[in-house]
Structure 1
């Protein structure tokens, strides 16, 4: 029986629980809080911050392979463990170009992949680069941005300088893309180099946080082929093992641009739990454990996934709304069991399988779900 260590104990690790049971894999979690979702499905837990490499050394003694639920780790410290023979999947060299968003942009550009115009903001007073891009621009923290944190759409220089001067972090500036759709693809690569991709999906963000995912995305066959080719180029270049999430923009003239890469399971792939032959969580475990990958085709016409985000600070379990959501036909509700609700926090998600997907039906369904959830009862 394989024993897999996971750095991070949130809902992404928690959703690996059922897949681990199915595959006969034991999960050992490194996470700082005893009430984190994945603690309930772990065979054992190392309670420590995810960037605590000493704790990861303890984790390594308890398992065969270590993988990642999030990328907020200390690569330099972990590399000492890797040099001692600890098996990380994906390998640390696959994470290294991605963790700093400026380095990630440079890596993608050097691969010849299409990205927005960008530069590292090293001297805020260097106005010529900013004026070259033209406002609005997007300002991103180079490290530790997640769920919209550290990402700003900036309308003028004064606002940009205010944010930069109030922060102790390094920033990336990139052109604002007036996209027609935001897209994403989940791709898996095995230890043998086999790559399988999930259907391209449309993601809908509000305040830089994913609110909804529609599978499959309404795009042309050529656009889908281009996105799949981007996934193959990236994962082969990194020699990655495991699941990667790739976020993209579709512009008004049909151009595809890569937005960001997540070297782990990803919110845009949650629909796969209920709509695909294999979930992204099972596929990830298959990949890191050296098991055969499974073709992740849809077993329905389509699906809509809606994140259930906190809209207040409370300790409610929202039983009334959850019951109403569960009564929607063909719905699958996933509640993460978090003890506290905060504004914007991901508390769960609901996926509804579609029989005959069309835009009107999708819009009506989303409206129904969100009118139930955001009742503030």
Structure 2
């Protein structure tokens, strides 16, 4: 959610006016609360009747809870400001009172927020609709805890009311986002993030960064958790990991290991205790655990909605289509098929697979990496090289597409888009990974800010680093185990590292077996072909002791 983080408060301008909704004409009769329908976002002219709707709903609430102050916020609270026409209202109560207030609002006829990314129960938003003069008006009623976002929301509203130039900028932004058409409501919201956060900052409100020495919690302790942990330690953070294996790859870089299954809600809660921010290995994220931890107590990044998408191929496909991404025909594939399965079927061997990596910060700023070409073996990425040998306009289009998708899901952290360059030059999205992925491993040595450090920067609210190449090209080759399951004992490291531009990464796996990813080698060079040849030679030098264990 755009406003889902807790904010620090600076000095606000003295001219701000905090104006609760009032009913100067006396009691207004109740309006029937109708069911709420989630729709595309359309920008329309401001309707003065929204003020009457706000006053009526406020009166209905206050008749049942006279102690509540109901504020009219959002665009309909600013006369003359175009917007979606939704009447946003807000009340502020102590945290312990929120369930009781929600119960009263349910009795009034309001209902829970629908959609894929609702506010948590610690700061809920209830919804409904009313009809006034034959026109339907939708309602969002926010219940905010004391110490939360209410002062910021009011300051933003009053700044828009008092500054015609600021209001004009906001109106222009909304028009640019929609282009006179309907757009996905989440995309509309998140596309405004960077501008709105800039205004918040000017008013003295900003998302506080997670400072070094705080603890980052990681759900899953595999290779990417290990590499994220190494980057976090380099920036001065502590690391806590949830994994069923106390000797998982990330164990050697973690300050604390919470041993438990990745669907163990109790273990997840223990991990979250003491953490300032949570992240995960997206391929191992358990949806029920994510839902349980998405309670507003600890920030979860890259974001619950982004993680939910990868668990539902149909939802992922609908999201891609709603955000303007081309996906391959689905005909003939099972319902559980991923978008990448359709893309591979449509393009066959002629398509070029690309890894398009972007990072999005808490301020909505998106930073893209040079595009890499990837090669797979049995669906797993085993080689990647960058920059991909594709036309510059195609590369720019691919980055713009991934940036748009990251914005559309409100992601904070890294997004890796698996994109197929088809023989006719079109780009087809095969899948999304909301987090670090094997297709960006080359970036650690080849760019100013590697993908794991960038992810840490993003989820901790730090400025994103440069993604400029530090060398002509780079390539990464995975180190895969062969043979039977056995103790992992490596040989050939000194041979692999004879070339000065080779970098060896071993993941600390205790066991080796056929197909298991044990590490990777990255090589830099003047061209991608040179880097790839060097990386392949170095990878070939790495062997695993074939001594079998006694049965």
Interval containing the TM-score (normalised by the shorter chain): 0.7 to 0.9
- SS at 1:176 equivalent: helix
SS in 1 for 2:268: helix
Distance verdict in 2 for CA 1:370–1:78, change over 3 Å: closer
Q: 5+ residue gaps in structure 2?
A: 1-212, 547-551
In structure 2, what is the equivalent of residue 357 of structure 1? 527
CA distance in 1, matches of 2:400, 2:279: 25
Structure number with higher relative contact order (C-alpha < 8 Å, ≥ 6 residues apart): 1
Q: Is the 8 A contact 2:372 2:439 kept in 1?
A: yes
Q: Is the 8 A contact 2:233 2:239 kept in 1?
A: no
Paired with 1:173 and 1:334, the residues of 2 have a C-alpha distance of 31
1:28 to 240, 245, 260: 240
In the superposition, relative to structure 1, how do residues 140 and 173 fare at CA in structure 2: closer, same or farther (>3 Å)?
Answer: farther
Preserved contact between residue 314 and residue 335 of structure 2 (Cα < 8 Å): no
Q: Do structure 1's residue 295 and structure 2's residue 507 form an aligned pair?
A: no
Partner of 2:346: 176
Alignment CA distance shift 1:367-1:88 (3 Å): closer
CA contact (8 A) 2:215 2:276 kept: yes
Partner Cα distance (1:8, 1:66) in 2: 11
2:541: which partner in 1?
Answer: 372
Q: CA deviation at 1:16?
A: 1.8
Q: TM-score, normalised by structure 2?
A: 0.57
The change in CA–CA distance for 1:173 and 1:193 in structure 2 (over 3 A counts) is: closer
- Following the alignment from structure 1 to structure 2, what is the Cα–Cα distance between the partners of residues 321 and 368? 12
Deviation sequence 1:142-199 (CA, Å, 0-9, x none): 59x9xxxxx9x8xxxxxxxxxxxxxxxxxx8984322331101111110110110111
Aligned pairs, number = 333
Q: Does the 8 A contact of 2:217 with 2:241 survive in 1?
A: yes
Cα offset for 1:140?
8.5
Contact 2:485–2:514, Cα closer than 8 Å, also in 1: no
Query: Which residue of the other structure, out of 409, 412, 415, is the alignment partner of 1:244?
Result: 415
Residue 367 to residue 59, structure 1, CA distance change in 2 (3 Å): closer
Query: Quick one: which of 445, 456, 459 aligns to 1:274?
Result: 445
Q: Which residue of 2 aligns with 1:204?
A: 375
**SS of aligned partner of 2:359:** strand
CA distance, structure 2, for counterparts of residue 367 and residue 240 of structure 1? 34
- Tell me how large the CA RMSD over aligned residues is: 2.4
What are the ranges of 5 or more consecutive residues in structure 1 without an aligned counterpart?
119-128, 131-137, 146-150, 154-171
Structure 2 residue aligned with 1:106, among 300, 314, 318?
318
Distance 1:375 1:69 in 2: 26
| 1:306 and 2:518 correspond | no
Q: Distance in 2 between matches of 1:251 and 1:199?
A: 19
What is residue 258 of structure 1 aligned with on the other side? 429
1:91, 1:260 → 2: CA distance?
A: 17
C-alpha separation in 1, matches of 2:281 and 2:472: 30
Task: Give the Cα separation in 1 of the matches to 2:337 and 2:271.
Answer: 28
Aligned counterpart, 1:341: 512
**DSSP 3-state at the match of 1:18:** helix
* Distance in 2, Cα, partners of 1:369 & 1:5: 34
Name the residue aligned to 1:93. Answer: 305
Provide the C-alpha distance between the structure 1 equivalents of 2:535 and 2:502, rounded to a whole number of angstroms. 12
TM-score normalised by structure 1 residue count:
0.82
**C-alpha separation in 2, matches of 1:210 and 1:369:** 18
Q: Does 1:227 align with 2:398?
A: yes
Query: Which one has the largest radius of gyration?
Result: 2
Cα distance change, pair 84–244 in 1 and its aligned pair in 2 (3 A):
closer
Tell me, yes or no, if the aligned pair for 2:488 and 2:544 is still in contact at 8 Å.
no
Looking at structure 1, the residues matched to 445 and 222 of structure 2 have their Cα atoms a distance apart, in angstroms, of 20
- In the other structure, the counterpart of 2:105 is none
**Equivalent pair of 2:343/2:429 in contact (CA under 8 Å):** no
Confirm or deny: 8 A CA contact 1:139 1:174 kept in the other structure. Answer: no
